[in-house]
Amino acid sequence: MTASLAFFDSDLCVKCNICTAACPVAAVTDRFPGPKAVGPQMARFRMPNHPSVDPSVAWCSGCGVCSRVCPHGVPVAEMNIMAKAETHVGPIQSLRDWGLSRPAEVARWSRPVRPLANAALRSGLLRAAADRLLGLASGAPLPEVAPEAFHRRRADLVRRVPERPSGDRGTRVAFFHGCSTDGYEPWLGEMTIRVLQRLGIDVEIPPQRCCGLPLQSNRDFEAARRYARANLANLHPWAERGIPIVGTSTSCTLALKHEYRAVLGLSGPEVEAVSESTFDFFEFLDQVLQDRLADFDPVPVQRRVLYHPPCQLRSHRVGTPALRILRQIPGLEVIVSRAECCGVAGTYGLKSERYDVAVKAGGDLFAQARQAAPDFLLTDSETCRWWIERHTRVPARHPLEILAESLGLENLRPTAGGD
């Protein structure tokens, strides 16, 4: 989006303040005057070569609720994300943000010393020091590095012959696993492949990089565009062949579908083809494989779960496909979250200066989780899962894990304290 386009879109704002009323950050802190004030209202003063950014825009979490509720279609969240890129932080915060924006590199560099790195994450003393010296919130969850990256095993995983329903001629998908699965939760990638293969799907894994969203969220738009262009070049051949691109990280799939165009300003046939070919995992199951799911006799799952659709999923504007599928599993009692946001917003809640605000923003969800006392809390976003589990002490799972159980598949999640 160019400065002139942002200026034009700002004129669609009628100052109704619906976005401010819905904003989970403005509701819990006076330091953020609301998405309208720092977004379309301030954008009216921005002209090419004469940027005007209110410093309080830095408190925007980028959750996207403002864009979703705007009755006039103003891209409020996108404006604010771009405005945040023009704000500046001190050198210590810049060092922290550099690391938070590169989870794939952090996992790769940490793996040779993985026992020490993971022990450091568990050390209250070291986390307190990182809070004081680097601004990395000691109370925020950080994932431990897996012993082996997912992409190292992908050839073995996709070589298995899928169990196709009788008479089926085969369907292919390209799996975009993302850096959280690759470096921190490779078991989730393997479970994804097993579920798809159980449903008779051939899985291919294209070469890929981090989606770039952490870089975008931490102001490094140029690096985010480099990552985006690499992913577009890698994924475009699959899109051209009509092969759906499927991901289990709803933030990654949102980047491919929307952020590359709406925030990073990329355009062209590759951008359009990849965007139109990308599905979040349960979106794909609900829109493409619903008939195939109906052919299976699911195993009853006697669980009580609280399902929270994360902000990134809501921004896909596809409803709650995981909820529709979960409700078809016999024995499963599903409670739906009443909260708009869990508060973490990717890396936002990991920062010391934002941590308390992020916790307050997630307060409604945390209270509901404590009151409902579910066996599991389910959500489609990895950062939301880690954050919610940390602040509720309720085990948080990807809804794919419940689906795998209903299909009679083994849950590959490591046991506590194991790899």
The residue-averaged pLDDT of 220-237 equals: 96
Residue 211 belongs to a domain: no
The residue-averaged pLDDT of 31-43 equals: 88
**Boundary (domain end) residue, out of 31, 54, 84:** 84
Residue 18 belongs to a domain: yes
- Six-digit token string for 96: 């922290």
Residue 324 belongs to a domain: yes
DSSP string covering 308-366, please?
A: ---HHHHHHTS--HHHHHHTTSTTEEEEE---S--S-TTTGGGBHHHHHHHHHHTHHHH
Residue holding tokens 């998908």?
173
- Which range, of 60-74, 78-92, 166-180, 268-282, averages the lowest pLDDT? 166-180
Residue 2 pLDDT grade (very low, low, confident, very high; cuts 50, 70, 90): very low
Cβ atoms of residues 83 and 52 within 8 Å: no
296-352 confidence digits (pLDDT tens): 888 999 999 999 999 999 999 999 999 999 999 999 999 999 999 999 999 999 999
Residue 366 belongs to a domain: yes
CATH of the domain at 401: 3.40.50
Nearest of 220, 219, 254 to residue 64 by alpha carbon: 254
**Within 13 Å, how many C-alpha atoms sit on residue 385's CB side?**
21
Nearest of 30, 254, 188, 209 to residue 102 by alpha carbon: 209
Q: How many residues does the chain have?
A: 419
CATH of the domain at 53: 1.10.1060.10
The strand pairing partners of 334, in sequence order, are 305
**Boundary (domain end) residue, out of 32, 59, 84:** 84
Distance between CA 208 and CA 181 in Å, rounded?
A: 12
Residue 304 belongs to a domain: yes
Residue 351 belongs to a domain: yes
Q: Collapse the DSSP code of 95 into the 3-class scheme (helix H, G, I; strand E, B; otherwise coil) and give the result.
A: helix
Residue 108 belongs to a domain: no
Residue 251 belongs to a domain: no
Query: Using CA of residue 358, residue 363, residue 365, residue 366, what is the dihedral sign?
Result: positive
pLDDT of 413 over the 60 cut: yes
Q: How many domains does the chain have?
A: 2
Tell me which residue range forms the domain holding 399: 297-406
Query: Using CA of residue 397, residue 398, residue 401, residue 402, what is the dihedral sign?
Result: positive
Cβ atoms of residues 66 and 22 within 8 Å: yes
**Boundary (domain end) residue, out of 69, 84, 99:** 84
